């Protein structure tokens, strides 16, 4: 028996980075990984360089896609890797705020002293990604729509 909430929790526990999916001002898609932290209310936080192609998109507060995906080496079937994806609203957390410092401390606890080094660089920026809706896939025929605390199975009839 599959418990979708447990599957999401497992992905959150086992992934240290997420995949960002953004689109630049010319409609060109950008995909890139970013280490993240996840807070108690379900929001993700990323610390990214302003030199990265996705940062201007995040700074424009445009909806952003993210994905956490099972490592290939752990997948029973490469075509059915466990994954959760979300469409997120974006907010920048400015450096001169108490919230940013708390998040930097959490990043440091999770990823080590490299974060202190990145915090010294003027181009690194913190963003909050607030999930609006999502989709969980845990295998063939096992997909779920995520909206708030609701988890609803998706069947073939939902794909049209």
| 3-state DSSP of 44-111 | EEEEEECCCCCHHHHHCCCCEEEEEECCHHHCCCHHHCCEEEEEEEEEEECCCCHHHHHHHHHHHHHH
Multiple choice CATH, 4-154, 3.20.20.60, 2.30.110.10, 3.40.1710.10, 3.30.1330.10 = 2.30.110.10
pLDDT digits (tens, 9 = 90+) for 122-158: 999 999 999 999 999 999 889 999 998 889 998 766 5
The per-residue pLDDT for range 18-67, each reduced to its tens digit, is 999 999 888 889 999 999 999 999 999 999 999 999 999 999 988 999 99
Residues with Cβ within 8 Å of 78's Cβ and at least 6 positions away in sequence, in order, are: 72
């Amino acid at each position: 028996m599959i418990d979708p909430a447990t599957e999401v929790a497992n992905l959150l526990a086992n992934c240290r980075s997420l995949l960002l999916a953004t689109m630049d001002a010319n409609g060109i898609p950008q995909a890139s990984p970013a280490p993240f932290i996840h807070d108690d209310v379900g929001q993700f936080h990323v610390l990214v360089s302003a030199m990265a192609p996705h940062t201007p998109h995040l700074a424009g507060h445009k909806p952003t896609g993210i994905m956490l995906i099972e490592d290939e080496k752990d997948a029973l079937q490469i075509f059915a890797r466990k994954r959760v994806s979300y469409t997120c609203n974006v907010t920048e957390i400015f450096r001169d705020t108490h919230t940013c410092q708390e998040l930097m401390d959490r990043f440091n606890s999770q990823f080590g002293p490299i974060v202190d080094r990145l915090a010294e660089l003027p181009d690194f920026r913190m963003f909050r990604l607030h999930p609006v809706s999502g989709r969980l896939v845990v295998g063939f025929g096992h997909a779920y729509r995520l909206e708030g605390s609701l988890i609803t199975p998706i069947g073939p009839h939902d794909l049209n």
